[in-house]
Amino acid sequence: MNAYWSGFDLHSHSTCSDGRLSPTELVQLASSEGVHTLSLTDHDTVQGIPEARQAALKVGIDLIAGVEISTTWSGCNVHIVGLNLDIDHPVLIAGLKEQQAARRKRAEIIAEKLSTLGVEDFLGKAEAKANGAELGRPHFAQVLVDEGVVSNMPEAFKKYLGAGKKGDVKSLWPTVDKAVEWIKAAGGVAVVAHPLHYKMTNMKRRALLKAFKDAGGEAMEVVSGAQQSRDQTNYMAQLAKEYDLVASAGSDFHFQTQWQKPGKMNHLPETVKPVWLLWQNAQHQAE
């Protein structure tokens, strides 16, 4: 077991994007599960960070400001996580405003594409589900369940909202390079999220990592969630070393019924360098 691993979870979501727990509830759950360093990485927003910071102070854990930015690369929807960010940096703020506009336009297109399913005011109902959070496909999926179009969330994605389905709209996101630029401008570390989740060949995945590295990216998730096998983890560690990327790990927690709890992931292999050493070393040098 890597000595630097225990207690870190650097990928999680709250009600500010598509999670089911408020930032406070998420932090409290993470603390109860033994997490001592948590990053809140909501989709295309840092709205929940101030609340999460206050909750983290109360329970005595470290909160790393984060975000998960949707991008397009070579026809694929790729997510780039930013860690240890200055959430007030003007470049990041401007970039996330662009994302909000893109999300709104994407939501309008999704609602139009799925209008044949017989749901009245589809967009309005999805917005009500979002309740002020960043509007995304899970909110449309919840509407499909509520309206009886499908029986559960997984079915909604399998039939209508998953990759390649009628409601899958990718073309509005910025490039990977642009997301890395926003993150680095805000003093953060750019991370390729869950590299195994994308439907691409190993050759294309390698091309993604190379392009990301060339853009200034520094890390990749070697461990993502609890469903990852040891062989997959070892392969991710191999790629991290091959492309000189440090390793991150996160549960990608959204809600308890379909995700493992915060902190409940495989250990990072000892062959990789943990991403948190980047800011820990920087802090020591500044002292």
pLDDT at 259 over 80: no
222 has pLDDT over 80: yes
Q: What is the Cα–Cα distance from 218 to 79, expressed in whole angstroms? A: 14
Q: Can you give the pLDDT at residue 115?
A: 87
Q: For residue 178, what pLDDT is reported?
A: 97
Residue 265, amino acid: M
Distance separating alpha carbons of residues 10 and 277, to the nearest angstrom: 13
Q: Is the pLDDT of residue 1 over 80?
A: no
Check pLDDT > 50 for residue 70.
yes
Residue 210 CA to residue 217 CA, distance in Å, equals 9
Instruction: Name the residue type at position 105.
Output: K
| DSSP H helices in 114-266 | 122-130, 137-146, 153-156, 176-185, 202-214, 230-242
- For 29-53, the pLDDT digits (tens) are 999 999 999 999 999 999 999 999 9
Confidence of residue 25 (pLDDT cuts 50, 70, 90): very high
The two three-digit tokens of residue 219, written as one number: 């890390």
Lowest-confidence range among 13-27, 222-236, 256-270? 256-270
Percent of the chain with pLDDT over 90: 72
